[in-house]
A and B are shown apart, each in its own frame.
Chain A
Amino acid sequence: MSFLTLTLSLIFVLIPIVLSKTLKLGLEKDTIIATIRSIIQLLAVGYLLTFVFDSDNFFYLVCMIILMIGAATQNARKKGAAIQGITWKLIVTFIFVEGLTQGILLGLQITPPAAQYIIPISGMLIGNSMVLSILFLNRFTSEVETRQEETELILSLGGTPKQAIHMPLIHSIKASLIPTIESQKTIGLVQLPGMMSGQIIAGADPAQAVQFQLLILFLLLTTAAVTSIMLGLLSYPTLFNKQMQMLKIRE
């Protein structure tokens, strides 16, 4: 793809802007900001990746992953502001997910230990883990609030905090996992996943692309389950104190 054709592709940005203007949707500004941000961010990442791949230095690779985890944490923590220490809970979760999946991938030699594999796969996993965290935290804080009376009832009957929070926790974990599982059921039928499409367009053998995509899908299942459950187990104790009393949720 040449620079000229890329410039021509801006037509696809103009269409929504014109539509927004004529229909007074008020989305022109956001569309322009989103376009400019995506250009800058992706170009920067492109150059950064070229640098990291070329340098073939383990240190830069780790820096990239730390950067990803930092950005993911920054994004997800707002949703969990009601939970004490949510920042480090997210960081621990992301590190664990990354360590577990890369450990299996590299340990069993499913993917080669090269930056070209590690970085894009980490990006997808941490990104997915971030989305799952947001889904989980959103649901969990609202479940805890709506079921507060039931939770206190169980405490009053002599239940432990773990028993008292069991239902809200299980419901939130389940609810956050459903989109991942549901979307995998129809994958390939409705839309081709982005990574696979990209590989095919770039000239890869479709069968090869499918294999990689399947690997990613399976990884995403693990990421989703581990993220929700781990974050849940790390989060619920902060809702109670030593006397097994329920603490007020901070607004």
Chain B
Amino acid sequence: MTSSDPVAIKFKNVNYSDGKLPILKNINGFFPKAKITTIVGPSGAGKTTLFRLCNGLISPSSGETIVNERDINYYEPTQLRRTFGLALQRATMLRGNVFKNLSMPRILQDKRLHKNEAKELLNDVGLDPNILERNVKDLSGGQRQKVSIARTLVNKPNILLLDEITSSLDQVSQLDIETLIKQLNEKYKVTIIWITHNLQQARSVGDYTWVMMDGQLVESGEISLLHHPQHAKVKRFIKGEVE
């Protein structure tokens, strides 16, 4: 990958703090367009916070976020969030049934989601389409995660932000989701940014990778860097995970 490759999101000296507590520290980096970037790093490194920033749910205390060559503030917040599909780490659900959850991205735009479309989405993420009327309270953690992924796909976003979306899934489901996401990337050129604690997954799905630690972007580059990291800190982190 060269620096002339198109860039989906770019960060320039981005800092974010909650009150006085610094959470993201001077982030400089980018996510290449139409590629899969994986983000790895220990708990509390600031990965989820970075996603909230990309989606405009929070603004940096200083620095710039550039989306498709324009400053993030150029975009109308609702428009920005509709082109970004954010799958939340906790797979938050709206009270009600699965169909209500899948329809919400459309309802918010005064549009409707057809039952057949909803069933197709469930099928895509490997869920039985018959659970459409099921209350989300009665879903397992893994099923919830799949519904959350399906809901993210309703708006056909061109950038997907996936935060630990397979953490509650069994091995087979996990591989199915990986295949689905890779397909979206190959077929529709969707830019994927994928936070994962699973280094194996990070290596197998990613083209590009970011290693974040303690609010900083320690290393980023081609996926091969996860095999041969430069920094001692990163080496230790990767060895720890493998052991």
- A residues near B (Cβ < 8 Å) are 149-150, 152-160, 163, 167, 243-246
Question: Is B92 a contact partner of A153 (Cβ separation < 8 A)?
Answer: yes
* C-alpha gap A245/B16 in the complex (Å): 15
User: CB-defined interface of B73-85 with A at 8 Å, one 1/0 digit per residue?
Assistant: 1000111011000
Question: Is A245 a contact partner of B59 (Cβ separation < 8 A)?
Answer: yes
Which A residues lie within 8 Å of B94 (CB)? 150, 153-154
Interface residues of B in 62-115 (CB under 8 A from A): 73, 77-79, 81-82, 86, 88, 90, 92, 94-95, 104-105, 108-109
Number of B residues near A (Cβ < 8 Å) is 23
* C-alpha gap A159/B73 in the complex (Å): 17
Given contacts A158-B78, A243-B56, A244-B78, contact A150 B95 (CB under 8 A): yes
* C-alpha gap A150/B79 in the complex (Å): 19
* C-alpha gap A159/B109 in the complex (Å): 8
* C-alpha gap A148/B58 in the complex (Å): 14
Given contacts A156-B86, A158-B155, contact A163 B108 (CB under 8 A): yes
Does B57 touch A at the CB level, under 8 Å?
yes
Does B55 touch A at the CB level, under 8 Å?
yes
Question: Is B59 a contact partner of A158 (Cβ separation < 8 A)?
Answer: no
Candidates A153, A158, A243, A244; contact of B88 at CB < 8 Å: A153
* C-alpha gap A149/B136 in the complex (Å): 15
Which A residues lie within 8 Å of B88 (CB)? 153, 156
Which B residues lie within 8 Å of A156 (CB)? 55, 57, 81, 86, 88
Which B residues lie within 8 Å of A149 (CB)? 90, 92
* C-alpha gap A246/B77 in the complex (Å): 12
Can you report 16 A-B residue pairs in the complex whose CB atoms are below 8 A from each other? A149-B90, A150-B92, A153-B92, A153-B94, A154-B104, A156-B57, A157-B81, A157-B82, A157-B108, A158-B155, A160-B78, A163-B108, A167-B95, A243-B73, A245-B57, A245-B58
Residue of B nearest to A244 (CB): B77
Residue of B nearest to A156 (CB): B86
Question: Is B105 a contact partner of A158 (Cβ separation < 8 A)?
Answer: yes
Candidates A153, A243, A246; contact of B59 at CB < 8 Å: A243
Which B residues lie within 8 Å of A243 (CB)? 56, 59, 73, 77
B99 to chain A, nearest CB (A): 15
B127 to chain A, nearest CB (A): 19
B196 to chain A, nearest CB (A): 19
User: CB-defined interface of B22-43 with A at 8 Å, one 1/0 digit per residue?
Assistant: 0000000000000000000000
Question: Is A157 a contact partner of B57 (Cβ separation < 8 A)?
Answer: no
Which B residues lie within 8 Å of A160 (CB)? 78, 108
A40 to chain B, nearest CB (A): 46
* C-alpha gap A149/B81 in the complex (Å): 16
Extra inter-chain contacts (12) besides given A149-B90, A159-B108, CB under 8 Å: A149-B92, A150-B95, A154-B108, A156-B86, A157-B105, A158-B79, A158-B81, A158-B109, A158-B155, A163-B108, A245-B56, A245-B57
Which A residues lie within 8 Å of B104 (CB)? 154, 157, 159
Q: Which of B58, B77, B95 has the most CB of A within 10 A?
A: B77
* C-alpha gap A157/B88 in the complex (Å): 11
Which B residues lie within 8 Å of A245 (CB)? 56-59, 77
